[in-house]
Each structure stands twice: as C-alpha cells, then as structure tokens.
Amino acid sequence: MEKKQAVQELVDAHANLRDEEMATAIWIRQGDTPVWLVEVLPGFTDDDRAEEPTVMAAGKSFKFDLYLIAANEKSLRAAIQRDTALAKWIVEGQVVFNSEKGKELQGLAEQCLEAAAVRHV
C-alpha cells in the first residue's frame, strides 16, 4: 500500500475512535522513513513537553513506525512557539484531517518562524 494512503487510513481510524475527538492531524517530515504525525486531541491534559513524540512500532495494520506528537491545542501551540524545528515541520507538513484547524496551526507556525528569523537578523 502506498505510504500516503496508509497514513490517511491511520488518521481516519484515529478520527473514528469511540470517545476520542481529534481536532486536526498534520503529516510532517514526509520524506522520513518512519511516519511522523501531529495530532491535536482536545481530551489530552496540558503537557509541557508536547513536542516529544511517542513511538509506536510498525504492525500488521500500519506498516511504518509511527512517531506521534499528540497534544491538546494549547500545549501544541506552546510547543510550536518554543521549538522552531517543530514549527518548520508543521509549516511544511500536509494537513490530513480537518484542514481548517490544521491550516490555522500552520499559520501560527509560520508566524513563529518569521519571528525567529527577525530575532536572528
């Protein structure tokens, strides 16, 4: 199965889980062999290290190692603001669930990168 299709199926499965609202999902670092996903999960508690991924090994239903950055929106926004690498990956990423919220986060990440660039001038 093509990687892009596998990612979309995984995200759709996450979006359809019982009792688990997902606000958006962004596929980042698309050129990497493992799959890197950012998912915004409103049910998550605040997390001051949201940029650290949790790793799921590849399996029968998803054949790629998954590096998952999952957080509520507040924690993810804070992570984007303090981690320029994450901001860059999000800007370059592909929104794969709920494009409106995903693009809003990409806009925030872009602003953070611009602000960081100004600081370095």
Partner 1 sequence: MSDIKRADAFLRQANADQAASLASGIPEFVARYLLQQACEKALKAFGYAKYTGRPGDGAQIDAYFFNRHDPIAKISSAEVLPNGVHLLRRELARFLAEFPERVALERIDATTPSTNMNAVSYRYPFMVDGAWTTPEEFTGWTPYQGGLGQVRTATKKLLARVHDEVSLVKRR
Contacts of partner 1 in 19-58 (CB under 8 A): 20, 41, 43-45, 47, 49, 52-58
- Name the burial class of residue 106, with classes exposed (0-12), middle (13-18) and buried (19+) by CB atoms within 10 angstroms of its CB: buried
16 vs 119, beta carbon nearer partner 1: 16
Amino acid occupying residue 77: R
* Alpha-carbon span 97 to 64, nearest angstrom: 19
Total residues at the site for partner 1 (CB under 8 A)?
26
Q: Which residues bind partner 1 (CB under 8 A)?
A: 13-14, 17-18, 20, 41, 43-45, 47, 49, 52-61, 63, 65, 68, 70-71
